[in-house]
Amino acid sequence: MNFIIIYYLVINYKNINDLKEIAYMDSLTGLKNRNSLFHEAQELIRKNQRFYLIFIDLDCFKQVNDLYGHLAGDEYLCVFAGKTEKFLKNQGMLYRMSGDEFICLFMGKAPEEFLEKLSHLSFSVTDCYIPFKGCSAGSAVFPDDCLSLDKPISLADKKMYRKKNKKHSC
């Protein structure tokens, strides 16, 4: 009888962990997702810990999907995510919001070096040589720019789109 109880406890524990992974991870890139972002950012806000929220949007990503197909576009997203995470060097966490939009919670002193590296990022997707078309980023800082999570996301998003609009269109 005790074996049966232990068996079901172990199975249920595994199922709970699987559900947590589905709820908090992006299955394509392996990054944390928007649920994780909101949960972890709210914890930083609760602790009144200073952080930068950097909103990142890939330039011309629709063109990548249209020209090379969605599987190549998926690989493009994964390569971008991996390279960008390496730039962070334990100073923050990268999250995939949706599609080609990412958010970084940056806890380092200042994100300028990270943003500089991001602006010079270069890679190509191996199988079909898709050159990286760049990305646009905007940032906001908590608590200087705002006191809730909605404001820095909105502010960083607006700054990112201003920068994106200054670039040439696809």
Identify the domain containing residue 38 by its residue range.
28-164
Q: Which residue has the higher pLDDT, 128 or 118?
A: 118
**Residue 135 domain flag:** yes
Mean pLDDT to the nearest integer, 61-72: 91
**Residue 133 domain flag:** yes
Number of domains in the chain: 1
**Residue 22 domain flag:** no
**Residue 45 domain flag:** yes
Mean pLDDT to the nearest integer, 135-157: 80
Asked if the model's pLDDT at residue 76 lies above 90, the reply is yes
Residue type, 99: G
**Residue 136 domain flag:** yes
**Residue 12 domain flag:** no
**Residue 23 domain flag:** no
Question: For 93-111, how does the pLDDT look when each residue is reduced to its tens digit (9 = 90+)?
Answer: 999 998 999 999 999 888 9
Mean pLDDT to the nearest integer, 139-158: 78
- pLDDT the model gives residue 157: 79
Half-sphere exposure of 146 (CA within 13 A, CB side): 16
Alpha-carbon gap, residue 20 to 43, rounded angstroms: 18
101: left (phi over 0), alpha (psi -120 to 50) or beta: beta
Structural contact between residues 129 and 67, judged by C-beta atoms closer than 8 angstroms: no
- pLDDT the model gives residue 165: 77
Q: How far is CA 122 from the centre of its chain?
A: 18
Structural contact between residues 25 and 37, judged by C-beta atoms closer than 8 angstroms: no
Question: For 5-23, how does the pLDDT look when each residue is reduced to its tens digit (9 = 90+)?
Answer: 766 666 666 655 555 556 6
Structural contact between residues 149 and 97, judged by C-beta atoms closer than 8 angstroms: no
Q: Which residue has the higher pLDDT, 169 or 160?
A: 160
Q: Is 117 exposed, middle or buried (0-12, 13-18, 19+ CB in 10 A)?
A: middle
Q: Residue 74 belongs to a domain with what CATH number?
A: 3.30.70.270
Mean pLDDT to the nearest integer, 49-74: 92
Residue whose C-alpha is closest to residue 46's, from 168, 142, 167: 142
3-state secondary structure of 74: helix
- pLDDT the model gives residue 17: 55
Which residues face 106 on adjacent strands?
52, 92
- pLDDT the model gives residue 4: 72
**Residue 34 domain flag:** yes
